[in-house]
Amino acid sequence: MFKDIATPIRTKEILKKYGFSFKKSLGQNFLIDPNILKRITEYAGLSKENAVIEVGPGIGALTEHLARTSGKVLAFEIDQRLLPILKDTLSPYDNVKVVHQDILKADVRELIKQELSDYKDIMVVANLPYYVTTPIILKLLGDQLPINGICVMLQKEVGDRIAASPGTKEYGSLSIAIQYFTEAETVMTVPKTVFMPQPNVDSSVIKLTKREEPLVKVKDEEFFFTVTRSSFAQRRKTLLNNLTSQLPDGKKKKDSIIQALESVDIDPTRRGETLSVKEFGKLSDVLLPLFK
């Protein structure tokens, strides 16, 4: 049996062998606890029938667990210095393909077609760099890729916002954007002590299960997201204040906005965080003729 990469001793050995130094700008924090990695693969529900997309494999700590439990791993690594390390650490596994690309710029759909066409079920599983967590998740969902879901480790605060319910201080346009496409749940909290170098905050693992249909049916998806973002522009302001200040010519259309809100039984003095995703769907549909 191969020695796990994700132990403090083995991680230090690998870093020393290659003279690797962490780049803060790339948000590099490597996990050094194999048990947590094992639990992530369990929460992701992997089997040899699944393929996995990983973002930021680092030195391969999570990758090797994914390779052991799934049919194939397609890993995106942006840091060229890690490519020779991954070639070495993942040499026991013939079911891993490492691509030297930025996932935000890559044609992920085309790479899925090239590398994972034999697999019907595809999960994204990753320890995401904190600084690009949100853009990565939104890209993967917004591009309507043929994936079943996403199971990722991220900054706890961001995880809380993604899984938040209406009426809580964490709930906002990010919660809505992700819950529109998926069912979101926090499955695990991870202390900062199990990373090298140790970050300043704890992490959590969230699982996003893709919905067959979006949570609400809206006439214009782009406008729906514009309305939700506008509604949270300044959290302390009422819905009416935010919409009139954020939407084009909103101040001139104030009376029409009030009428639109009242027509779907939404009090203009409510705040954005009190509205459910379904209420935002109704609201965006009724505002659409005023702004399109």
pLDDT at position 27 is 67
User: 206 with 230, same domain?
Assistant: no
* CATH of residue 260: 1.10.8.100
Structure tokens at 196: 């090298």
Q: Where is the domain boundary, 210, 232, 263?
A: 210
User: Does some domain include residue 215?
Assistant: no
How many independent structural domains does the chain possess? 2
User: 83 with 107, same domain?
Assistant: yes
Q: Which amino acid is at 239?
A: L
Average pLDDT taken over every residue of the chain? 95
Residues 147 and 53 sit within 8 Å (Cβ to Cβ)? yes
User: 113 with 250, same domain?
Assistant: no
* Alpha carbons within 13 A on the beta-carbon side of 69: 19
pLDDT digits (tens, 9 = 90+) for 207-259: 999 999 999 999 999 999 999 999 999 989 999 999 999 999 999 999 999 99
Q: Residues 272-284: what's their mean pLDDT?
A: 97
Q: Where is the domain boundary, 144, 175, 210?
A: 210
User: 182 with 270, same domain?
Assistant: no
Residues 177 and 135 sit within 8 Å (Cβ to Cβ)? no
Q: Where is the domain boundary, 210, 242, 276?
A: 210
Q: Name the residue range of residue 48's domain.
A: 8-210
Q: Which amino acid is at 163?
A: A
User: 27 with 161, same domain?
Assistant: yes
pLDDT at position 2 is 66
Task: Name which of 174, 173, 116, 103 is nearest 143 in CA terms.
Answer: 103
Please tell me whether 56 is known to bind a ligand: yes
User: 197 with 235, same domain?
Assistant: no
Please tell me whether 35 is known to bind a ligand: no
Q: Residues 256-281: what's their mean pLDDT?
A: 97
Please tell me whether 50 is known to bind a ligand: no
Residues 150 and 248 sit within 8 Å (Cβ to Cβ)? no
User: 12 with 123, same domain?
Assistant: yes
Please tell me whether 4 is known to bind a ligand: no
Note the pTM of the prediction, 2 decimals: 0.93
Please tell me whether 143 is known to bind a ligand: no
Helix (H) or strand (E) holding 141: helix 133-142
Q: Which amino acid is at 49?
A: E
User: 251 with 184, same domain?
Assistant: no
Residues 291 and 224 sit within 8 Å (Cβ to Cβ)? no
User: Does some domain include residue 2?
Assistant: no
User: Does some domain include residue 23?
Assistant: yes
Please tell me whether 102 is known to bind a ligand: yes
Q: Residues 84-109: what's their mean pLDDT?
A: 97
Within a 10 A sphere around the Cβ of 263, how many other Cβ atoms?
Answer: 11
**How far is the CA of 123 from the CAs of 65, 72, 111, 159, in angstroms?**
14, 11, 14, 18
